[in-house]
Amino acid sequence: MKTRFLAALAVFASASSADAQSMTPMRGEVTSFTDEFAIRVFPSNPYKRRIDVAVRVYDANFKPVAARISPPEMSLGGGASRGVLVVVGFEGQAERRVRVCTESIPFPGTKMSVRTQVCGRFIARHRLLR
């Protein structure tokens, strides 16, 4: 058991942070005068080959949240990044906490179905409902 842990730790330690799928920004605060708020995130692909990703929105407990995402899914070339606009409603709340996540989509026809997920945390405040 200890050997497996050490082997896993060595693999994890050997992967540099530059090789991890990423998204910017990872945190943010938004103030809105309307019943919706918008966040622009930039998923990026640090790998040399093309990957497919989806952007999804969850609440603070990782339950899906209704949102307009443009584009919701995309293919990113090696080293590429692309802006994604996420619009979420307040649903009558004065403050809303959401997680915007970039999730990899496994290649079709492969036996490996590993999904990665990188999430940013955002707080939105409705200026008029305070």
pLDDT in tens, 42-68: 999 988 888 899 999 999 999 999 999
pTM assigned to the model? 0.78
Residue-range definition of the domain harbouring residue 49: 18-126
Q: Is residue 3 part of a domain?
A: no
CB of 124 within 8 A of CB of 98? Answer: yes
What does the pLDDT look like over 99-129, one tens digit per residue?
A: 999 998 876 666 666 678 899 999 999 988 7
Contact yes or no for 58/99 (Cβ under 8 A) = yes
Residue that wins the pLDDT comparison between 123 and 11:
123
Residue 62 lies in a domain: yes
Q: What is the CATH number of the domain that holds 85?
A: 2.60.40.10
**Assigned domain for 103 exists:** yes
Has residue 12 been placed in a domain? no
Q: What single-letter DSSP state applies at residue 43?
A: E
Q: How far is CA 35 from CA 20, 54, 82, 90, 96, in A?
A: 35, 25, 26, 6, 11
Tokens of 11: 């693999």
pLDDT at res. 106: 76
Residue 8 falls inside a structural domain: no
- The answer to whether position 1 is within a domain reads no
Distance CA 14, CA 55 (A): 28
Domain membership of residue 119 (yes or no) is yes
Report yes or no on 13 lying in a domain: no
Confidence of residue 90 (pLDDT cuts 50, 70, 90): very high
Number of structural domains in the chain = 1
